Chain A
């Protein structure tokens, strides 16, 4: 069993295409102004379908994290152990689940500043990970 790649649908395809180009996109509602992630067909605040893409700064702070020691997703994850999962609160106020990578990823703290970095998983598919800001 390989590590799963994201399932990409027409609704989410622009997000993943931007990731492959090194840009992190958020959905913004043109009716009520709210920003949200993950991308949906209608705004979860007001159900408006008038949405636009807004590029994120890619910067934020760790909201929570966990260092994973057991391959809970199957044997494909064994070679990555231990790895660190984070929920990042982007400076735009939107939270995003991701991975923390880099040499200091072992011992982060809630509130530590992070910035996005894109990792290629397959042809045309890049995952937005985060790294502690220097």
Chain B
């Protein structure tokens, strides 16, 4: 059975890219990833994508394929929500290669959310195109993601006594890491005083708890180890060690309590499939839509006990230099919000030893843990040295 490995990564510039379109950005990331792998256009026979949050697209997999002049065996659009979309693409690519359906599959996501959002629309979510809250949320003044995450964060603070300073530690760590990333949208340090003085968006969420709105795209290419060896590809291949996922709800009005969220189940499944545990991690990338996501993520990965994420972050244990640094690229809070795709790209970069000033020494196993919706869907993928 072919062993699927990640052999290429692509990352466009991020931030404000006026005049770009989501399809162009995705196509650019695909070309970058294929070039990085040392493959050629003709090697690709699978393309998986996720629709942009800012604008409506139908059959996007076909559109990106056509734009690139591809005639792949498989082109599909996967929309779970957040990082689970990305990790489900990756898991699907692994299956396609392992089952001899495809030779090389690219997983891509990106959009021009920052410069394309309709005027007057706030928040980081599909706004005009996201539906589902027509009866039970929007008439009550609940739109976008910040209010939903605020309700989650308040509940977390109530249950575990978490303080604003503990959430501030997450925002500050992300900024520190982004300072070491030349392709980061927000390269400025943040102090605790600045965090605490940041205006409230929806209490207890202040502006500095919120992730960025970004233009940009990323991609990864999966092929078999045999194909990579046969083509004598230059890059160090990265293995997919294990994957797990779990879904619990969609709407904030159906939010389970903070100790019933699906993150831990997804991580446990990934660990079991990989034969690994939290003790084996050298770093992790956690979908940080808001600072609360990072705290729930370190708990979900088992790096600390349930309810201890705030204290864990406040002790500096998520920062570079600690045993398991989190979001070494700056994450959605400070690098860019590309729906979790750059969390995967960064994980591959760390495992190749190509992360420059933010390289984790001796990084051999990394986790990507993410949620979609409001901690509604969770996915975890463990990557490691091939």
Contacts from A to B (Cβ < 8 Å): 1, 3-8, 12, 38, 63-75, 77, 80, 83, 85, 87, 95-99, 110, 121, 127
Asked if B154 is an interface residue, CB under 8 A from chain A, the answer is yes
Q: Provide the residues of chain B in CB contact with A77, threshold 8 Å.
A: 141
Q: A4-B134, A65-B154, A127-B140 are in contact. List 20 more A-B contacts (CB 8 A).
A: A6-B134, A63-B155, A64-B151, A64-B155, A66-B150, A66-B205, A69-B200, A71-B122, A72-B123, A72-B143, A72-B144, A73-B143, A74-B143, A75-B120, A85-B142, A85-B147, A87-B155, A95-B253, A97-B253, A110-B158
Q: Provide the residues of chain B in CB contact with A70, threshold 8 Å.
A: 122, 146, 201-202
Of A73, A87, A110, which contacts B255 at CB under 8 A?
Answer: A87
Question: How many B residues, CB 8 Å from partner?
Answer: 33
Q: Provide the residues of chain A in CB contact with B252, threshold 8 Å.
A: 87, 97
Q: Tell me whether B147 and A66 are in contact (CB under 8 A).
A: yes
Of B120, B199, B202, which contacts A67 at CB under 8 A?
Answer: B202
Q: Would you call the interface of chain A mostly helix, strand, loop, or mixed? A: mixed
Q: Tell me whether B135 and A72 are in contact (CB under 8 A).
A: no
CA A72 to CA B144, docked complex, whole Å:
7
Q: Tell me whether B203 and A73 are in contact (CB under 8 A).
A: no
CA A72 to CA B124, docked complex, whole Å:
10
Q: Provide the residues of chain B in CB contact with A73, threshold 8 Å.
A: 122, 138, 141-144
Asked if B67 is an interface residue, CB under 8 A from chain A, the answer is no
Q: Tell me whether B151 and A66 are in contact (CB under 8 A).
A: yes
Q: Provide the residues of chain A in CB contact with B140, threshold 8 Å.
A: 85, 97-99, 127
Chain A nearest CB from B255 CB (Å) reads: 7
Asked if B160 is an interface residue, CB under 8 A from chain A, the answer is no
Chain A nearest CB from B216 CB (Å) reads: 23
Docked complex: B143-200 residues within 8 A CB-CB of A: 143-144, 146-147, 150-152, 154-155, 158, 199-200
CA A45 to CA B304, docked complex, whole Å:
33
Of B122, B135, B139, which contacts A3 at CB under 8 A?
Answer: B139
Q: Provide the residues of chain B in CB contact with A74, threshold 8 Å.
A: 120-122, 143
The answer to whether residues A69 and B202 also contact, given A38-B253, A63-B155, A110-B155 and a CB cut-off of 8 A, is yes
